[in-house]
Amino acid sequence: MTFDIPFAKPSITSKEVEYATDAAANGWGRRCYDYLNIFETRFAEYLDVRHCIATSSCTGALHIALRTIGLAPGDEVILPEITWVASAAPITYEKATPVFVDIDPLTWCIDVRKVEAAITPRTKAIIAVHLYGNLCDMSSLRDIADRHRLFLIEDAAEALGSTWRERQAGSIGDMGVYSFHGTKTLTTGEGGLLAIQREDLFDKALIQANHGRKSSKRTIFWMDEIGVKYKMSNIQAAIGCAQLERIDELVTRKREIFSYYYKALVDLPVAMNIEAVDERNSYWLPAVVSLERLDENRRDAMLAKANEVGIGLRPFFYPLTRFPMFQELPQSPVAARVSRAGLNLPSFHDMTQEDMDVVIRAVRKGLS
Ligand SMILES: Cc1ncc(COP(=O)(O)O)c(C=O)c1O
């Protein structure tokens, strides 16, 4: 028997189609930024931050953020060893050095107890990655960043809708970045966003995001420095506006799916995404880690079997130190173990209870 249970896909209704159609038909000339402006304004309201800059990807948003803080060759940026490569790649674009820190065994986010040991005179920033919707310990990271005068950037690509003390993930650090890739809770196809609280950083970010152009200059073609360009299109923003109107529904559905999986798997020797007191986890991606029952070979065999019949199980992210670009760095113990024993479950909004039951059976079988 085969199934059609992809790992991820967005929830698209007539609202997204209507707004995108309007943008395609009418969003040009004087109206060419209408949806973009609305998207940025409403997103800032949703996050409760001062400013948002919509981008073509989260990778681009993070690159703008790093240029905004003046990251220079030889500077160091601390980040967790397990994340999507996009958290680290923009550091290297600026010829700076990623410094990886092991993950916490419970949250799978950066282990705050190990951060200070990684700080050197060259450290410029910490990137707090909220993995799979789980939240980093933001109060400890804020404290460390303040004591060492470091910038704190949140990579909330996977955590839109997660909150800590009712503050949105990505709105707590100096800047936060989000992804609207087609696999994410809210999508614009491809897309991202940079959220900023500080006025001084916003002014710099705007210049960086606009090819180095200062808006105060007398001619629109005058440039003072080299910047970057990662702009979101008005049509993408139209889809984003529709999705943002549905954000509570989208997050609620993610939470329902996680809860269904959790209840069905909790009797097994597994760890799943965590939600601490004071937190709400938006559960972008349900993850199952079984240090007791899985090693890499067994996990990969289980995924291959499931994928063969159309069940979109995926492996946990690899520690970035396993890749050729970073392989001279030592692998951290928790990252190494969790990554080899972990997998992600399909969690697209429109999946049915029968779909989830199929996934659950595959996981139980793989762990038996
Ligand atoms: C943690 C993390 N950071 C950054 C990104 C990059 O997002 P994008 O694909 O929009 O550039 C992703 C995307 O999956 C991610 O998971």
Looking at the fold, whether 262 and 146 belong to one and the same domain comes out as: no
Number of folded domains in the chain?
A: 2
320 lines ligand 1 (CB under 6 A): no
> Residue 192: beta bridge partners?
55, 179
Of 227, 245, 263, at which residue does a domain stop? 245
Condensed to tens digits (0 to 9), the pLDDT of residues 281-340 reads 999 999 999 999 999 999 999 999 999 999 999 999 999 999 999 999 989 999 999 999
**DSSP, res 49:** -
Query: Average pLDDT, stretch 31-51?
Result: 98
Question: How far does Cα 235 stand from its chain's mean position?
Answer: 22
Of 194, 217, 245, at which residue does a domain stop? 245
Q: Which atom of ligand 1 is nearest to the CA of 86?
A: 4
Measured in Å, residue 84 CA sits from the centre of ligand 1 at 6
Looking at the fold, whether 228 and 263 belong to one and the same domain comes out as: no
Query: Average pLDDT, stretch 334-347?
Result: 98
Condensed to tens digits (0 to 9), the pLDDT of residues 105-151 reads 999 999 999 999 999 999 999 999 999 999 999 999 999 999 999 99
Measured in Å, residue 268 CA sits from the centre of ligand 1 at 30
The overall average pLDDT reported for the chain is 97
185 lines ligand 1 (CB under 6 A): no
Count CB atoms within 10 A of the CB of residue 326: 17
Which residue, chain included where needed, has tokens 């059976």?
361
Looking at the fold, whether 280 and 232 belong to one and the same domain comes out as: no
Condensed to tens digits (0 to 9), the pLDDT of residues 235-283 reads 999 999 999 999 999 999 999 999 999 999 999 999 999 999 999 999 9
Looking at the fold, whether 118 and 215 belong to one and the same domain comes out as: yes
Measured in Å, residue 304 CA sits from the centre of ligand 1 at 24
Are residues 43 and 195 in contact, defined by beta-carbon separation less than 8 angstroms? Answer: yes
Q: What is the full DSSP assignment across 20-37?
A: HHHHHHH-SGGGTTHHHH
Q: Which domain holds residue 70?
A: 14-245
Residue 148, domain member (yes or no):
yes
pLDDT confidence of 223, banded at 50, 70, 90?
confident
Residue 7, domain member (yes or no):
no
pTM of the entire structure? Answer: 0.98
**pLDDT computed for residue 218 by the predictor:** 62
- Residue 119 CB contacts under 8 Å (≥ 6 apart), including other chains: 78, 144, 148, 150
Measured in Å, residue 21 CA sits from the centre of ligand 1 at 27
Looking at the fold, whether 219 and 130 belong to one and the same domain comes out as: yes
Residue 176, domain member (yes or no):
yes
Of 203, 221, 245, at which residue does a domain stop? 245
Measured in Å, residue 174 CA sits from the centre of ligand 1 at 19
**pLDDT computed for residue 330 by the predictor:** 87
Across the beta sheet with 271-272, the strand order is: 271-272, 287-289, 342-344, 314-315
Residue 9, domain member (yes or no):
no
107 lines ligand 1 (CB under 6 A): no
Query: Average pLDDT, stretch 71-75?
Result: 98
Look at residue 50 and tell me whether its pLDDT is greater than 90: yes
Look at residue 214 and tell me whether its pLDDT is greater than 90: no
Measured in Å, residue 26 CA sits from the centre of ligand 1 at 31
* Residue 319, domain CATH: 3.90.1150.10
Count CB atoms within 10 A of the CB of residue 33: 14
Looking at the fold, whether 252 and 227 belong to one and the same domain comes out as: no
- Comparing CA positions, the residue from 260, 340, 263 lying closest to residue 302 is 340
**pLDDT computed for residue 216 by the predictor:** 67
Instruction: Identify the residue with better confidence: 138 or 1.
Output: 138
Are residues 77 and 98 in contact, defined by beta-carbon separation less than 8 angstroms? Answer: yes
Minimum CA distance residue for ligand 1 atom 7:
58
Instruction: Indicate the top mutation candidate among 58, 87, 130, 162 to test ligand 1's pocket, ranked by most ligand atoms within 8 A of CB.
Output: 58
154 lines ligand 1 (CB under 6 A): no
Count of residues for the chain?
A: 368
Looking at the fold, whether 26 and 171 belong to one and the same domain comes out as: yes
Instruction: Indicate the top mutation candidate among 181, 194, 285 to test ligand 1's pocket, ranked by most ligand atoms within 8 A of CB.
Output: 181
187 lines ligand 1 (CB under 6 A): no
* Residue 165, domain CATH: 3.40.640.10
